[in-house]
Amino acid sequence: MSRKPISYSGYRILDGTVDNYASLLDPQKWKVNAPLLWQESGIVNGPLPTDRDTDPAVEVLDTWAQPHLFFENVTFGFVSSQRNLLRTTYTKSPARVRFFYEQFECLSSVFFFQENAGGIDVDTGEATLVQQPQPNKVRLDISKSVRFTQPSDELPVVDLVTSIAVQLVMDLLLYGIVPNNPNGEA
């Protein structure tokens, strides 16, 4: 029996312009914008290390319309952490910003202190900012789907915890980290 990924989608209308919020969607700035979650985030620069335990070198780009490999080291408190390689695109214009990602490879994961080689087979998502017809209004849409494969002997627990964590983290990103207006007030 195939397990479905755990998914989230949500949106929010914000005061301001696309430019006011563009840097919040730039995945290279995740470790700055949400340092309690991301320890590292950046475009892979050069060949991938042959050792799975070694983080790849990263660089910073302004935008990238063609997919680039992206490295993230993300932690969700004491529950889990993942080191992932994602295929990503990030484009921006005065009226729209779009970030898209999909799993390339999960290098390692830890779930309730149990270390695993790999551990995620589905991780895809998108964030889009679009200037609205109303003056000084922007719509932010975000979505994510994820499915863990490790630890294989604990998948029902992993799915339960993941379903709660994805909802909480995505709501935190949508309503907690992103301010309601360009002056930074939530």
**136-179: per-residue pLDDT in tens?**
999 999 999 999 888 888 888 888 988 998 998 899 888 887 77
Please list, in sequence order, all residues whose beta carbon lies within 8 angstroms of the beta carbon of residue 48, skipping any fewer than 6 positions away: 56, 69, 85
Indicate the pTM of the whole model: 0.87
User: Which among 118, 136, 139 is positioned nearest to 127, based on CA atoms?
Assistant: 139
pLDDT of residue 9: 97
159 phi, psi to nearest 5 deg: -65, -40
**71-98: per-residue pLDDT in tens?**
999 998 777 899 999 999 999 999 999 9
| 111/114 Cα distance (integer angstroms) | 5
**CA 172, chain centre distance (Å):** 12
User: What ranges in 1-119 are assigned the alpha helix state H?
Assistant: 18-25, 30-33
> H or E stretch including 169?
helix 155-171
pLDDT of residue 131: 97
Cα Dmax for the chain = 53
Domains and CATH numbers, the chain: 6-177 (3.30.530.20)
| 28/71 Cα distance (integer angstroms) | 9
**113-137: per-residue pLDDT in tens?**
888 888 889 999 999 999 999 999 9
